Amino acid sequence: MSPSRPILLRWGAWRLDLSARTRIMGVLNVTPDSFSDGGRYLRPDRALAHAQRMGEAGADLIDIGGESTRPGAPRVPLDEELRRVIPVIERVAARCRLPISIDTSKAEVARRALAAGAAMVNDVTALRGDPAMAGVVADAGVPVVLMHMRGTPSTMQRRPRYRALMNDLLRFFRERISAATAAGIDRRRILIDPGIGFGKTVAHNLEILQRLELLARLGRPILVGPSRKSFLGRLAGDLPVDRRLEGTAAAVTAAVLHGAQMVRVHDVAEMVRVVRVADAIKRGGM
């Protein structure tokens, strides 16, 4: 997808021009066990304050999730996930003038979140985890992120192998986009995420960043989420999560230069600056 070609995401009262600049999706995990910030924002007041800080720092969307998808993470019961996310979504929707994405693979969580003020669904299973999810998204008329993941969070890092990684991703997304549109989801509201770190080795993650532009053949906006991932720590000398800022900046830059229209990050203020420079390099101007 050429930067000069308009890429407009329109739904309801929201409008995002994805061709003007790379958009920032800020991560807000309301979980006790997420790999990076688990337990920090369980209280709705703390979650709201963090969402407001990300908005002030330049986030374009806030992605709220109540179930960790780190490697080996257990499933969270429906009632518990709802208890975590709904009060936060209600508060953020009332106080922040940004679209909210609900990060879930459960149709009922998505339905309740959209009713509470969310405006987008981010599904790490690409609509495969819950047979009712596609119908919820189609009925609501909201955008959806289809992410590639090999297996489930509990199994995805068990010797991940691919015949030809990028070709496998292309086949996967063609099939999932077809399934989504067959269920009534508007193709113009579909984004794709190659799933950095989800059933991928370090070499797989690097190949995705190096060859990301191949996914532009699908004609859909590309979201990339490398933020603080373990492969960045390994590449930089086995660094812990809280020391992966520079690695995240490098990965975000590569994603922008190779075709991402949106990046999902924890460190919004820093990545806004990184993306501004990367966009200028890619587009040849301010």
CB 198 within 8 A of CB 156: yes
Q: In 10 A of CB 204, how many CB atoms?
A: 23
Partnered with residue 100 across adjacent β-strands are 62
Cβ atoms of residues 144 and 39 within 8 Å: no
Q: Which residues of the chain have pLDDT under 50?
A: 1-4
What is the model's pLDDT at position 159? Answer: 74
User: Bridge-partner residues for 192, per DSSP?
Assistant: 146, 222
- Identify the CA nearest to 172 among candidates 218, 121, 203, 205: 218
Annotated catalytic, 282? no
Q: Of these residues, 40, 264, 273, 276, which one is catalytic?
A: 264
List, in order of start, the domains of the chain with CATH numbers: 21-150+158-279 (3.20.20.20)
Backbone angles phi, psi at 100, to 5 degrees: -105, 130
Active site residue 174: no
Whether 106 and 83 have beta carbons less than 8 Å apart is answered as no
Q: Which one of the listed residues 70, 111, 176, 229 is annotated catalytic?
A: 229
Spatial separation of the C-alpha atoms in residues 150 and 171, rounded to whole Å: 13
